Amino acid sequence: MFPFKDNIPTDRTPVVTIALIVANVLMYFLFQQGTILGGPDDENVVLYGAIPFELTNFAQECVAIAGDELAPGGCAGQPPTWLTVLTSMFMHGGVLHLAGNMLFLWVFANNVEDSMGRGRFLAFYLLGGLAATALQTAVGPDSIVPTIGASGAVSAVLGGYILLFPRARVWTLLFVVVFFTVLNLPAMAVLGLWFAQQLAFAAFDVVNPTGGEGGVAYFAHIGGFLFGLALIKIFAQRAKRSSPRHPVY
C-alpha cells in the first residue's frame, strides 16, 4: 500500500519538507556513496549509523570485523556517538528504503509543517527522530546493529498527521499479488493499518529467537509515531482554514 496524495491543501510552500527530502537524497548518493542498484558504503554505515551499544556504553564504540559483523572496540577518527544520532536520521540502506521514506514524508509532512510553521516543524521532526532512536535503543541496549533511516522522524509526522487531520482522505496505490488499483481511502485507515503492522512486526521481533537482528527497526517507528501523537498539539499552532481539494466523506 503506497499513499501518494492527500486531499488537504497547504497555505504555504513546505520549504522544510522539501529541504529534508533534498538532504536525505544528497546524503544517500553523495555522503553514503549509494547507488540505484547497489547499497551504501558499509564502513560509512558503521561509522555514522546509530548503534544502541554505543549509545548505552558511552566509553566504547563498535568497529567492523570479519565480513559484515561488528564488535565492541574503537579506533581513532570515529565520529562522536552523539553525532551519529543525528547523521543516522539522514542515512538509508538502499534506494527503495530512501524512496519509501521520502514518499511518506512528501505526502504527509507538508500539511504538518503548514500547521506549525517551519522552525517548529524542523524541531518536531528532529525530536521525533530522537524519540524513535531512544525507544529502539531502550528495547535493545546491547545491540551492535547500526540503525539508519528517516523512518523514525517520518513516523512522528504520521502520528501528528492522524490527529490533526482525522477526516482526511489519501489516494493510495494498492497491490494485490500481481494486480494493483488506486483507492481513495481515509487517512485514519491508511495510517492506522500502517501502525498496526509496526506493532505486529515489533512483537514478532521480540519473540523471534534471532531477535530480528539486521532487519527493520520497528520500535523506532513506534517510538516516532507515539511522539507525534503525544506532542503534535503542543507544536501545532493553527487548524486548517482551507477546504479540502476533494469532498471529505
Here the cell at position 65 is: 570485523
| pLDDT, position 243 | 44
Residue labelled with grid coordinates 482525522 = 166
Angle at alpha carbon of residue 190, lines to 189 and 194, rounded to 5°: 110
Specify the CATH architecture of the domain 2-235: Up-down Bundle (1.20)
Phi-psi region of 246 (alpha: psi -120 to 50; beta: other; left: phi over 0): beta
Encode the chain (249 residues) as per-residue pLDDT tens digits.
Answer: 889 999 999 999 999 999 999 999 999 999 999 999 988 999 899 999 999 999 998 766 665 544 445 555 555 567 889 999 999 999 999 999 999 999 999 999 999 999 999 999 999 999 999 999 999 999 999 999 999 999 999 999 999 999 999 999 999 998 877 678 999 999 999 999 999 999 999 998 877 655 444 478 999 999 999 999 999 999 998 655 444 444 444
pLDDT of residue 55: 93
* pLDDT on residue 176: 75
Can you tell me the distance from the alpha carbon of 27 to that of 35, in angstroms, rounded to the nearest whole number? Answer: 11
pTM: 0.88
